[in-house]
Amino acid sequence: MKWLLSLFVFLLLLSAGGLTYWQWKGYHEVHASEGITSLSQTIDLIKKPDSLIVEQTFHRVPDQVFTISWPETSTGRACPMENCERISEDLLLLSEGKAGDITLSYTIPVTTGQPIMLDNWVVTLESADIHFTTVSITDQLLSEGQWISSLPYKGAETLELIQYTAFEGRGDAGELVWLQNSLPIYQTRNMNIYSTQEPEVEERRDQLKDVYVTVVHSSELSGAQLDEILVLQDGYDPSSVTRFLYEKYVMDHYAVTQDQSFLIDVMISGIFGEDPLSDKGLQAIEVIQGQLSGEEQLEWESWLLTLEETLIEPAIFDQKFSELTGEGTTFFTDNSSSAEFTPYYSIDSRVIEVNEEPVDGAVMINRDGTAYYLLTPLLNALGYETEVNEDSAISVIKDQNTYMFYMDQPSFTYNNEQLTLNSSPVISVKGEPYIQERWVQRLFLTSIDKNETILISQN
């Protein structure tokens, strides 16, 4: 029986070796100019009663310095091989030296009698990008159960005294799960589905042919918080799987991270024509459709498909949107950094002058067809003292006259007399007060001329 296991391992490693070489060659050429080293790795894991013994090998590590980061829960950290001369005594630094394979070992404690869920469970090297990973798991306990990885499943073998499972694929080690009860595996071109029910698989778009996902339908993982494995508990839902594939496509191809859900929603809508899942995403699509013509929307969607991995950040979206509309905006940056939805507004790039003197910090925006000015620098330039209080009330004082505004409230007070209006004279934009242009003119007796500059004059 042992020779069968040896043959299984040999064939797997032979296959992985060939793939790894070509993956390494391609990725190395891409990342060399970016200061990022592209590596492949092999991880061997042995399951013990209350722990996992891990031996991790980085292949073809070049002659350069790397910082070593260990999993937080790991113990028994060591360099078990003979090629340890490059590793510092505290095991936190890989110094310059002869290029070659580097192997590290460690132990991860686990709790028996319940599912095991691992993320961030392997050693990482700073400034190194893992482009291909092979994971092999040996269970000498005959504990039954089943190992599931976010990497593609390659095979399993159960012999008289041992169980062996293997995974391999592009990227790092991802997430690893052990279930007490085994599930049937249904494999498609880009999915491994673990379920007691035979799944209904939808036809995939060509764009998704290189995207891989793992789907698990199991009550054992009730309440599990996993990012790279889709957990279904109420039955197999093809629409949820399709959405997960879209998200994986965006994250794989554009280096968007899980916490950038707003950008993921926007990109899925533009690339695949799918409605966003979040309220912020739906509001964003309304903005895009409201601000862009049909032709401009087609250009926006085509641009999304041509984005390069190194360019994915909210400011790039603002730049392209501004180019299409002819108006400056920080809409995508604002909404990527805030839990609340920030309505769309455009930013006027012209210099603002008061009595022919440029005003430092003065800003004019347009929101819903109405012009607003950043209140404090403008009114200070007009000779008023301003103060924003903790309750979002803004006092404006000059001579014996006092105005009191409340952000987003359709009223204000003038010398303690309250006046009610049809709209808010002062609104909040990212927590800052902006005052409507017409109230700058009416309350503070100014005239405004807009040409190459915005000239505000006191009457």
Label residue 217 left, alpha or beta by phi (over 0 means left) and psi (-120 to 50 means alpha): beta
pLDDT score recorded for residue 221: 86
| Pairwise CA distance, residues 295 & 304, whole Å | 15
Could you list the beta-strand ranges (E) of 389-445.
393-398, 401-406, 411-414, 417-420, 426-429, 432-436
Q: Judge if pTM exceeds 0.95.
A: no
pLDDT tens for 210-227 read 888 999 988 888 778 788
Within 13 A of 273's CA, how many CA atoms are on the CB side?
A: 3
Per-residue pLDDT at 22: 40
Summarised one tens digit per residue, pLDDT across range 135-166 is 999 987 666 789 999 999 999 888 777 889 99
Q: Are 149 and 133 in contact (CB under 8 A)?
A: no
The secondary structure element, H or E, covering residue 29 is helix 2-31
Question: For residue 166, what are the contacts with CB-CB under 8 A and spacing of at least 6?
Answer: 9, 12, 134, 135, 136, 137, 153, 154, 155, 156
| pLDDT, position 23 | 40
Specify the range with the lowest mean pLDDT, choosing from 31-35, 391-395, 436-440. 31-35
In this prediction, residue 7 carries a pLDDT of 46
Measured CA to CA, the distance from residue 5 to residue 210 in angstroms comes to: 30
Give yes or no for residue 14 having a pLDDT over 50. no
3-state secondary structure of 30: helix
The CA distance from 38 to 191, in Å, is 25
pLDDT of residue 309: 63
Of 230, 251, 263, the residue nearest 171 (C-alpha) = 251
Q: What type of residue sits at position 120?
A: N
pLDDT in tens, 18-70: 444 444 344 444 444 456 789 999 999 999 888 999 999 999 999 999 999 99
Q: What is the H or E stretch that residue 62 is in?
A: none
- How many Å apart are CA 346 and CA 367, to the nearest integer? 7
- 287/458 Cα distance (integer angstroms): 36
DSSP string, 348-362: E-S-EEETTEE-TT-
State the amino acid at position 353 in one-letter form: E
Rounded Cα distance between 281 and 287, Å, is: 10
| pLDDT tens digits, one per residue of 325-378 | 999 999 999 999 888 899 999 999 999 999 999 999 999 999 999 999 999 999
For the record, the structure tokens of 425 come out as 């004279």
pLDDT band at 310 (very low <50, low <70, confident <90, very high): low
Secondary structure class of 214 (helix, strand, coil): strand
